[in-house]
Amino acid sequence: MRINFKSHKFGKKLLISSAAVMMLSGVTTTIVPKQSGLIQTVQASSKMIKLGKYSKDNQCVLKFDPRTKTLHIKEGANDNTLGSTPIYQLIPTANRHLSKKRKIKLTDIKHISIDSEIALLGNCYWLFGKLPSLQDIQGLDKIDSSNVDSAESMFAHDKKLKKLDLSTWDSRSLGFGNKEGMFYKDLALEEVNVTGWDVKLGDSIFNGLDTTKTRIIGVNK
């Protein structure tokens, strides 16, 4: 199908293919030229969904990329403090303010990327927990955890999460009971690195985690 546009300046008709019209409107399409064997795919850039303002006390920029299924987190213009609202609570709150086409399901989040240095608040209860499709968290070494006093259930019920390297975190402020069940029911967790945390396998941090199937690096004997 072709669409005719009349040029007022030259009085001639301009032929634009329907594929080109879709390109101009931001829709992903495939263009098939008349020459055989030539196929060019033009992808419209995905629109990131802004979520930062739905997290309590948050100063960071949170955006979800629906194309890559990645939640991106980076420092804000004035501060780098990440809010205390758990992501699993943030999403339904945001959905109440998003259009139907922009709504996010918890199962949509497969990856989290920490894109710049950020700082955590005192209460991180369930912060990254209850994300049933989450597979990995990149950039954990960019997180300042020195102000955290409660990390209870922080990654709990992330059933597809495979690895966590927390060896760069400052755990000195974490009380013994406030680390309880950090990895509770993380059924696919293959490896956790807690070097420098001064914990043992019997401590409450590992409650609900099958430590016979998960490699724990850095525990005291």
Q: What is the mean pLDDT of each run of 10 residues along the chain (221 residues)?
A: 46 46 45 44 64 97 98 97 98 97 97 98 96 98 95 98 96 81 98 95 96 96 78
- The pLDDT, as a whole number, for residue 164 is 98
Residues 125 and 91 in one domain: yes
Instruction: Compute φ and ψ for 16, nearest 5 degrees.
Output: -125, 125
Residues 179 and 71 in one domain: yes
CB-based contact 74:114 (threshold 8 Å): yes
Per-residue model confidence as pLDDT tens digits over 4-63: 544 444 444 444 444 444 444 444 444 444 444 443 433 444 699 999 999 999 999 999
Name the residue range of residue 104's domain.
Answer: 49-217
Q: Quick check: pTM over 0.85?
A: no
- The pLDDT, as a whole number, for residue 175 is 74
- The pLDDT, as a whole number, for residue 50 is 97
Three-state DSSP class for residue 125: coil
Residues 95 and 30 in one domain: no
β-pair partners for 29? 42
Residues 22 and 101 in one domain: no
- The pLDDT, as a whole number, for residue 46 is 61
- The pLDDT, as a whole number, for residue 35 is 46
Which stretches does DSSP call E strand in the chain?
A: 2-6, 13-17, 29-31, 40-42, 49-50, 61-65, 70-74, 81-82, 111-114, 118-120, 136-138, 143-144, 163-165, 191-193, 215-217
Residue 73 has which token pair? 């987190």
Alpha helices, DSSP H, located in the chain: 18-24, 87-95
Residues 78 and 149 in one domain: yes
- The pLDDT, as a whole number, for residue 34 is 46
Residues 17 and 120 in one domain: no
Residues 12 and 101 in one domain: no
